[in-house]
Structure 1
Amino acid sequence: MQQWATLMDGVDHVKLETVPIPTELKDDEVLVRISRVSLNNRDIKLIDGDFKNRYKVPDSPVVPCSDASGTVVKIGGVSAASQWSEGDRVFTTMRPSHLTGPSRPEHNSSTIGIPVPGVLAEYRIFPASGLIRVPEYMSIEEASTLTVAATTAWMALNWNQPIGQPRRNKDVVVLLQGTGGVSIAGLQQAKALGLTTIVTSSSDAKLQKAKDLGADYIINYSKVPDWDAEVLRLTKGEGADIILETGGPGTMDRSLSCVACGGTISAIGILTGSTEAGKSQLSTGMRLIQRNATLKGINVGPKDRAEEMVAFYETAQIRPIVDRVFEFSDALEALRYVRSGSHIGKVVIKVN
Structure 2
Amino acid sequence: MPMSTVKAYEIGPQQGLGGLRAVQREQPAAGPGQALVRVRATCLNHRDLLVLEGRYGPRRPETRIPLSDGVGEVIALGAGCSGVAVGDRVLSGHFVSWLDGAFAPTIFGADLGISMDGWLAEQILVPAAALVPVPASLSDEQAAPLCAAGLTAWNALVEVGRIQAGDLVLALGTGGVSIFALQLAKMHGARVAITSSSDEKLAIGRALGADITVNYKTHPDWAAEVLRANGGRGADIVVETGGLATLSASINAAAPNGRIVLIGALANAAPDTPVHLPNFSSILGKNLTLKGITAGSRSMLQRLVTAAAANGLEPLINRVFDFDAAALAYAYLKSADHLGKVMIRGA
TM-score (norm 1): 0.92
3-state SS in 1 of match to 2:310: helix
Q: Identify the residue that residue 3 of structure 2 maps to in structure 1.
A: none
Q: Identify the residue that residue 19 of structure 1 maps to in structure 2.
A: 25
Q: Identify the residue that residue 305 of structure 2 maps to in structure 1.
A: 310
3-state SS in 1 of match to 2:101: coil
Moved over 4 A (4+): 274-277
1:19-38 map, 5 Å: 19-23=25-29, 25-38=30-43
1:264-303 map, 5 Å: 264-273=259-268, 277-281=273-277, 283-303=278-298
The answer to whether structure 1 residue 71 and structure 2 residue 73 are counterparts is yes
Q: Is the 8 A contact 2:94 2:148 kept in 1?
A: yes
Among candidates 44, 48, 51, match of residue 43 of structure 1 = 48
3-state SS in 2 of match to 1:175: strand
3-state SS in 2 of match to 1:194: coil
Deviation at 1:284, TM superposition (A): 4.2
Q: Identify the residue that residue 8 of structure 1 maps to in structure 2.
A: 14
Deviation at 1:224, TM superposition (A): 1.4
Deviation at 1:317, TM superposition (A): 1.4
Which residue type is aligned with residue 107 of structure 1?
A: I
Which residue type is aligned with residue 243 of structure 1?
A: V
What is the CA–CA distance in structure 1 between the aligned matches of 2:238 and 2:270, rounded to whole Å? Answer: 20
Q: Is the 8 A contact 2:14 2:62 kept in 1?
A: no
Deviation at 1:290, TM superposition (A): 2.6
CA-to-aligned-CA distance 1:15-59 (integer Å, 9 cap, x gap):
111111102x222111000111100001111111002xx32x345
Structure 2: segments with no counterpart, 5+ residues: 1-5
Q: Is the 8 A contact 1:176 1:244 kept in 2?
A: yes
TM-score (norm 2): 0.94
Q: Identify the residue that residue 169 of structure 1 maps to in structure 2.
A: 165
Which residue type is aligned with residue 76 of structure 1?
A: G
The answer to whether structure 1 residue 138 and structure 2 residue 138 are counterparts is yes
Which residue type is aligned with residue 134 of structure 1?
A: V
3-state SS in 2 of match to 1:167: coil
Q: Is the 8 A contact 1:249 1:275 kept in 2?
A: no
Structure 1: segments with no counterpart, 5+ residues: none
Among candidates 213, 232, 248, match of residue 218 of structure 1 = 213
Taking a change above 3 Å as real, the CA distance of residues 167 and 15 of structure 1, as seen in their structure-2 partners, is same
Taking a change above 3 Å as real, the CA distance of residues 93 and 262 of structure 1, as seen in their structure-2 partners, is same
Deviation at 1:275, TM superposition (A): 8.1
What is the CA–CA distance in structure 1 between the aligned matches of 2:39 and 2:314, rounded to whole Å? Answer: 20
What is the CA–CA distance in structure 2 between the aligned matches of 1:275 and 1:135, rounded to whole Å? Answer: 45
1:107-122 map, 5 Å: 107-122=107-122
